[in-house]
Amino acid sequence: MSFASLVQTMDRALQSRLGGVTFTYETRDGEITTGIAGMFDEVYELQEPGQSSVEVVGPVLWARLEDLPVHPDDDDPTIYAIAPADGVVTETTVAANRYRVRERQTDGPQGETIRLLLHRADDGEG
C-alpha cells in the first residue's frame, strides 16, 4: 500500500471517529454534488507555529480534493447542507447556513486535502 493510500485510509478513519460531516458543494456554474465527506469547525482557531497568540478565523471545512467535483482554486463554490455524517441532527448542526470560500489552503504531505476558510454567504460578502 502506498503512503498516499495510507494517508487516505487514516483521513477517512479520523473523519468517522472525530465527528465528520457531509456537505453539499455547488460550483459557480451551478453543478451540485451532495454527500461529500469532510470535517467542519464553526469557530476555528488558528495558531501558527512559534506564535503564542491564537487567531479565531471563523468556520472552516476540511475535505479531500479527490472528493470535490472541481478544485476550489479553479472555482468559487457555495458550501451548504452541512450535517453530521451519522445523520443525527443536533442544535449545533449548521445545515441551514450557506457559506462562501474566502481562502483555500492545501494540506497534507502531497496536497491531497484542502482547508476551506469560509464566511456565511448571507454576510453580504458573497
Residue 30 has pLDDT above 90, yes or no: yes
Nearest C-alpha neighbor of 23 from the set 74, 78, 72, 70: 78
pLDDT at 15: 66
DSSP state of 77: -
Q: Which residue has the higher pLDDT, 110 or 102?
A: 102
Q: Give the pLDDT confidence of 74-86 residue by residue, as tens digits.
A: 999 999 888 877 6
44-83 residue pLDDT tens: 777 677 766 667 678 889 998 989 999 999 999 999 888 8
Q: How does residue 113 score in pLDDT terms, banded at 50, 70 and 90?
A: confident
Query: What percent of the chain is modeled with pLDDT above 70?
Result: 75
Higher pLDDT, 113 or 94: 113
pLDDT classification of 126: cutoffs 50, 70, 90: very low
**What is this structure's pTM?**
0.74
Cα Rg of the chain, angstroms? 15
Give the Cα separation of 45 and 2 in Å (integer): 32
In the 8-state DSSP scheme, what is residue 92?
T
CATH number of the structural domain 3-123: 2.40.10
Confidence band for 91, pLDDT divided at 50, 70 and 90: very low
Cell 441551514, located at residue: 96
Cα gap 25→80, rounded to integer Å: 7
Contact 98, 78 (CB under 8 A): yes
